[in-house]
A and B are shown apart, each in its own frame.
Chain A
Amino acid sequence: MKFFEFIGQYVLFLRGLFSRPEKFRVFKKQLMLEMENIGLGSFGIVSLISTFTGAVSTIQIGYQLVSGLVPEYLIGRIVRDSNILEFSPTVTCLVLAGKVGSSIASEIGTMKVTEQVDALEIMGVNSANYLVLPKIFAGLFTIPLLVIYAMFLSLLGGALSGMMSGIINLDFFVKGLRADFIPFSVTFSMIKAFTFAFIITSVSSFHGYKTEGGALEVGQSSTKAVVYSCMGIIFFDYIISELFLKR
């Protein structure tokens, strides 16, 4: 019952959100600020996570395919597919749910408990539209770019770890990367990135926006934002895979 209540509240929240911004100039300024926070602010952690994910996946796939019957270049191919299809969009977005999601929820939650949101409403500003819409658009623009960047770095990390550990040389790895490449994999990854970006920004904003109380509740909202965003990502990861990859 609580789940349906949550879904209902979330849908109503989204409905109130999508209206024309009060002033486009102010919206543009907010959008730029949020893109800086979400995009540039996450550059470091995405670089680190994706490089090591790629590196570890090469080592683990190499470890599992120790056989004379399996061509060596297959390691590169499996690293490519697993990183493009799954690791780069999903792991990156799970990490961003923690970093960006908690930041959004605590920012809006603090504004709510200190009456800053009320101040906006009394001025005649649609507070949800003013505070949340730029975050959603910024997420939809920057998170897919971060995922593309993560794809590139994970493959680079995979190639480097393969070479350094002696599992696979660069030529074979690159041959694997180019073998039977399906461009739709990237499209599929982008579909996931857009969906996850929307989940992270909207679910976190929703939890921040319905915060009531004080510092304790802000912390709880932040935790809920991360947990629900991660659950949403995992759930839609399955749904999107089922819809687009089933043959």
Chain B
Amino acid sequence: MIRLDHINKGWGEKKVLTDISATFYQGKCNFVIGASGSGKSVLMKCMVGLLEVDSGVIQYGGKDFVSLDYEQKKEIRKEIGMLFQGTALFDSLNVEDNVAFPLRMFTKLTPSEIIERVNFCLKRVSLDNVNKLFPSAISGGMKKRVGIARAIALNPKYLFCDEPNSGLDPLTSRVIDELIMEITKEYNITTIINTHDMKSLFEMGENIVFIYKGRKEWEGRREDIRSSGNEQLLKFMKASEF
């Protein structure tokens, strides 16, 4: 479980996140939604430690991530898997080496054990015979799958997905959604998904945080969205044709 308490973040006079508190639950697909520029990505970057918050507490299983030093943060980061919007696969490494990367860096597995684990992860995301291909030679959907395979290679406790469906056709989007959902349940991971895709939200969103102009406007279950009475959330839904 991840808990945010009164998170504030800004640059100079400009406040990007104001007093955000929320809880993201283990074994659930937690969604962060909001319009472009609302602060979703900044919130996610703060949560994984790519940006430092101005004030507030981020708790990973009870540990305050903000107050930890660099080495202690590194230990928590090893429990985090992240699927980037642009996949962020290493261009110079082939698919196999991309997935093997965290295993080579942080485990004492033998080369044959690493390959075995890589093949297991690739199979889990339904990829076969792509081990020796470079990221430039595979499609957007396959890149996302490789990104997921890399993210789950170390059996993470937390999975962050930044716009997992961006740039994908509707069919591939659904496949990726299903995959994220299956992995969340299978490994009992705390999954946080940052998205605009309302179809994904209504199919797999279990806990939803809606952000508007850097503030948390609403938090709840997907079943309660339509009856939330929150004007901004309903406007956002209407604009998304839901």
Contacts and interface: CB of A to CB of B under 8 A. Distances in A.
Interface string B70-99: 000011011010101110111100000000
Contacts of A119: 82, 84, 88, 90
Contacts of A124: 74-75, 77-78, 105-106
A119 B84 CA distance: 8
A111 B88 CA distance: 8
A124 B157 CA distance: 14
Interface string A102-129: 0000000011001110110111111000
A22 interface: yes
Contact of A123 (B77, B85, B86): B77
Interface residues of B, number: 22
Given A23-B104, A26-B104, A26-B105, A122 B86 contact: no
A121 B75 contact: no
Nearest to A130: B105
Q: Which label, helix, strand, loop or mixed, suits the secondary structure of the B interface?
A: mixed
A116 B91 contact: yes
B88 A123 contact: no
A25 B105 CA distance: 9
B50 interface: yes
B25 interface: no
B91 A122 contact: no
Contact of B84 (A23, A110, A111, A118): A118
Interface in B180-223: none
A25 B106 CA distance: 12
A16 to B, nearest CB: 9
Interface string B31-65: 00000000000000000111000000000000000
A227 to B, nearest CB: 26
Nearest to A16: B70
Contacts of B89: 116
B102 interface: yes
B236 interface: no
Given A23-B104, A26-B104, A26-B105, A121 B88 contact: no
B101 interface: yes
Nearest to A116: B88
A123 B77 CA distance: 6
Given A123-B77, A124-B77, A124-B78, A115 B102 contact: no
Interface in B104-119: 104-106
Contacts of A123: 77-78, 80, 101-102, 105-106
Nearest to A22: B105
Contacts of A110: 91
Nearest to B154: A123
Contacts of A118: 50, 84, 88
B104 A122 contact: no
B80 A23 contact: no
B167 to A, nearest CB: 14
Nearest to B102: A123
B107 to A, nearest CB: 10
A119 to B, nearest CB: 4
Contacts of A115: 84-86, 88
Contacts of B106: 22, 123-124
A110 B89 CA distance: 12
Interface in A122-154: 122-126
A125 B49 CA distance: 13
27 contacts: A22-B106, A23-B104, A23-B105, A25-B104, A26-B104, A110-B91, A111-B90, A111-B91, A114-B86, A115-B86, A116-B88, A118-B84, A119-B82, A119-B84, A119-B90, A121-B50, A121-B77, A122-B48, A122-B50, A122-B77, A123-B77, A123-B102, A123-B105, A124-B78, A124-B105, A125-B105, A126-B74
Interface of A: 22-23, 25-26, 110-111, 114-116, 118-119, 121-126
Given A22-B105, A122-B77, 20 more contacts: A23-B105, A26-B105, A111-B90, A114-B91, A115-B84, A115-B85, A115-B88, A116-B90, A116-B91, A118-B88, A119-B82, A119-B90, A122-B50, A122-B160, A123-B101, A123-B102, A123-B105, A124-B77, A124-B105, A124-B106
